Structure 1
Amino acid sequence: MNFKHLLVVASVLIFTSCKQENHLYRIEGKQIQITDSLQANSDVEAFIKPYREHVNKNLDSVLAYSVDTYSKNDGEYNTAVGNFMADAIYEQANPVFKKRTGKDIDFVLLNHGGIRSILSKGNVTARTAYGLMPFENSMVVVDLKGAQVKELLEYLAKAKRAHPISKLKLAIDADFNVASASLHDSPIDFNKNYFVLTNDYLYNGGDHMDFFKTNDSLYDLDYKIRNALIDYFKKVDTINPVIDDRFIQLKN
């Protein structure tokens, strides 16, 4: 066979191989249960151990003491643990906001569902903060117009839930209408704007809080709620929150 014939044969073989197709005709799989019967890898365990011990030490170091156990189900329109969280993040966030803007936050609004555990009686640690707020939600301040604040108040009145608030005082009537709303003992002026501290989840319309979504005046504090709670725990010795009159329903 001369060189010319060899070249032709090689070209045919290459073309033919390019035309071949592989077809997937079956996928097989099996479920592997992760149980205590699976043997740990000693090398991996040895590598992880110092990191695990360091993390657990940081999480379990005592920061404060809680005088009782508090649950988000303990109150009808405000709860001790919700009041604690709203007050704590206000205390941590307001100096940050004021340093950046020269202004104060007017009030706080969080969501009842965002409280993910009880605050147990006894030692309070960083792990406590992770239990209360396991999500990566950050604090933001929204410049709300008076009309939006009115929507916010009407939302709280109709929601019939103990959404945590701070610095705001709200009373609703028997028909779940807003009876009064004030800041620092002064009625809210719906012709003014107010700086409202909340989290990025609610700002983006979470829990149907759509009054936040219509506003572009946003200050991102780059400060996670969980970290604010940890910082607050480090500042205080004893945690003793109470249910108060910040959000109530009038009986008559």
Structure 2
Amino acid sequence: MTKIALITGATAGIGEACAHVFAREGYNLILTGRRNDRLEKLAAHLNDKYNVEVATSSFDVRNRQQVIDNLEGLPAKWKKVNVLVNNAGLSQGLDPIQNGNIDDWETMIDTNIKGLLYVSRVVSNWMIDNGYGHIINLGSIAGKEVYLNGNVYCATKHAVDALNKGMRIDLLSHGIRVTAVHPGAVETEFSEVRFKGDKERAKKVYDGFEPLIAQDIAETIWFVASRPAHVNINDLVIMPTAQATAGNIFRS
């Protein structure tokens, strides 16, 4: 029987890379994101390249009603989700707490915490009804430590770490696996989004060392998802070789 993976934030970066990897492995896909044009283009490409079925649903995970309406509005066959990849997330700004932009705080909290909760609330109940499932939450090294001016972003990723542990306990009796994958520096649109489109500033984040790329994380997520049913990887931290901690990077 063909399996189904639901991937949030699939229009770029790690989410898009995950879509390619799961399609390559024969999964049908539900892809969500805010940019419908990108979703449709990606869906057509994956269908053509891997001959898999792809459903797209364009909404903002920050909007609870949009999440509920779009996911619950899917046909019944699409609710047999085997793997949920809670990838949608972002960082905004890099300011000390006393100068922080409150709108940035709200965006990070609403996306990284509340958005993950809204999606998980719906899909976990599908998994309970189905009797199987695996939820994979995208954390960050920022959820394991705190770095200068990372305050609210780090707080949201610490929340993901805690929610992952809570989900693992709450869903244990239902046989649903729960995993968090916490990357260090990954060169995607992440820094560009953090710096509001400043490409030059974003590029400097990765100067002098080789960061991870989206494909590295997608392959790691696939490894986690492809373990036998009796195996659950609770928590996984993955870093570039040149990075030991959030703030400790060897630059040549």
Q: TM-score band, normalised by the shorter chain?
A: under 0.3
- Which structure has the larger Rg? 1
Q: Which one has a larger percent helix, Structure 1 or Structure 2?
A: 2
Q: RCO higher in 1 or 2 (8 Å CA, sep ≥ 6)?
A: 1
Per the normalisation by structure 2, the TM-score is 0.21
Normalising by structure 1, we get a TM-score of 0.21
